[in-house]
């Protein structure tokens, strides 16, 4: 075993190679048979009023704000015209004016469950029934009326309502089971660029138990377990090694039968080969490895996650390799 100054450990071999997630010069660090690495995170996004705003995954959970002119801009606009707060990899919040009240709708476009929380600062401009904050669980593609907002003046509020929408994929009631996962690629050496608790980018709860497998660009990425594709993110063409907000780049999230979720991130441009809602079997091709998002070298970021009540956390996992079960070093306390 060898450990570099970046804190990564190898699994099978002691040979080393430099690679690092982000704007950081790393001393050579361990591998398990072959090439470089990086990281993902699934997104903190701020949406500006009345605009459809989306962003690359950047952190554990997704967040949208609705500041500014949240209502439809023209007082003469037709009644019941929806005003989308945000759209993207999480959920959308819409205000629909039906005089004298705003109907606040939330939509989950994921092909799997998500937990949402809508909150707002204290205001004398309107009254919410039921009161905010509110937390709810939505099934795949579900749309639900969340609350009714009654302006104090009985008129439309053009200055904005200050609503905030927090979104976390997954069902917080799920109970993940111990499972041995299959290696999410084959035909190339097993090489770990960053393991559990890696100092550079695996220090937060969503990524603590993640593994960055260094892979040549374009290596087929395979499902490590049966499941349903609940989220894909595509269209990222390049890496942004100096921008942590670039997150996981192109990615696939797969929902398992026990409610846990596997994240496969930093896939190549045009490297996503599946669609939301598609059932996949272990070993089925999900896409191709790449170097998109917050990344400095081609690799696959793999993590098992669950929703721990509005917080996305990673879970330790077991995985079978070509020579038996992989031994991931335990992170330093």
Per-residue pLDDT tens over the stretch 80-91: 333 333 334 445
d(CA 57, CA 75): 35
Q: Which pLDDT score is estimated for 108?
A: 92
Q: b/e string for 116-134 if b means 16 or more Cβ within 10 A?
A: bbbebeeeeebebeeebeb
d(CA 187, CA 134): 49
Q: What is the DSSP string of 64-129?
A: EEE-SS-S-S-TTSPTT-EEE---SSS-EEEEEEETTEEEEEEE--SSS-EEEEEE----SSEEEE
The token pair that represents 87 in the structure block: 């759209």
Write the DSSP symbol of residue 176. Answer: -
Q: How confident is the model at residue 242 (pLDDT cuts 50, 70, 90)?
A: low
Give the phi and the psi of residue 141 in degrees, each rounded to 5: 60, 15
Averaged pLDDT for residues 247-268: 96
Which carries the bigger pLDDT value, residue 32 or residue 208?
208
pLDDT over 70 (residue 114): yes
Question: In the chain, what are the domains?
Answer: 16-40+174-325 (2.70.70.10), 62-169 (2.60.40)
Q: Which pLDDT score is estimated for 91?
A: 54
d(CA 70, CA 50): 6
How many CA atoms within 13 Å lie on the side-chain side of 55? Answer: 23
C-alpha distances out from residue 253 to 16, 207, 306, Å? 30, 14, 11
pLDDT over 90 (residue 54): no
d(CA 66, CA 163): 5
**Bridging pattern class, strands 134-138 and 211-214:** unpaired
Averaged pLDDT for residues 302-321: 96
Averaged pLDDT for residues 255-273: 97
Q: b/e string for 84-100 if b means 16 or more Cβ within 10 A?
A: bbbbbbbbbbbbbbeee
Burial class (CB within 10 angstroms; exposed 0-12, middle 13-18, buried 19+) of 69: middle
Range from 21-25, 77-81, 243-247 that averages highest in pLDDT: 243-247
**pLDDT tens, position by position, 230-241:** 999 999 888 876
d(CA 17, CA 199): 17
Q: Which pLDDT score is estimated for 132?
A: 96
Averaged pLDDT for residues 111-115: 96
pTM (2 d.p.): 0.74
d(CA 319, CA 327): 8
pLDDT over 60 (residue 5): no
Using DSSP, state whether 26 is helix, strand or coil: coil
């Amino acid at each position: 075993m060898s450990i570099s100054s970046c804190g990564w450990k190898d699994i099978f071999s002691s040979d080393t190679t430099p690679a690092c997630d982000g704007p950081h010069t790393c001393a050579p660090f361990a591998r398990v048979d072959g090439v470089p690495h990086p990281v993902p995170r699934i997104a903190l996004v701020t949406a500006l009023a009345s605009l459809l705003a989306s962003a690359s995954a950047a952190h554990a959970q997704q967040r949208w704000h609705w500041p500014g002119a949240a209502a439809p801009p023209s007082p003469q606009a037709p009644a019941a015209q929806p005003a989308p707060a945000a759209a993207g990899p999480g959920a959308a919040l819409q205000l629909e004016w039906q005089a004298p009240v705003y109907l606040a709708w939330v939509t989950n476009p994921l092909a799997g469950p998500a937990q949402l929380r809508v909150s707002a600062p204290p205001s004398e401009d309107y009254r919410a029934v039921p009161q905010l904050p509110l937390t709810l669980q939505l099934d795949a593609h579900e749309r639900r009326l969340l609350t009714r907002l009654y302006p104090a003046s009985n008129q439309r509020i053009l200055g904005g309502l200050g609503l905030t929408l927090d979104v976390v994929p997954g069902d917080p009631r799920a109970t993940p089971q111990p499972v041995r996962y299959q290696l999410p690629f084959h035909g190339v050496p097993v090489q770990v660029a960053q393991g559990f608790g890696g100092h550079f980018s695996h220090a937060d709860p969503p990524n603590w138990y993640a593994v960055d497998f260094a892979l040549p660009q374009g290596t087929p990425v395979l499902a490590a377990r049966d499941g349903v594709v609940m989220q894909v993110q595509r269209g990222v063409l390049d890496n942004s090694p100096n921008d942590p907000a670039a997150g996981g780049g192109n990615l696939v999230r797969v929902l398992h039968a026990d409610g846990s979720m596997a994240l496969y991130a930093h896939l190549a441009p045009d490297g996503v080969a599946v669609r939301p809602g598609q059932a996949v079997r272990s070993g089925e091709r999900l896409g191709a490895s790449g170097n998109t998002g917050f990344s400095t070298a081609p690799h696959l970021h793999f993590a098992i996650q669950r929703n721990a009540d509005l917080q996305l956390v990673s879970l330790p996992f077991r995985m079978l390799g070509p020579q038996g079960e992989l031994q991931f070093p335990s992170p330093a306390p």
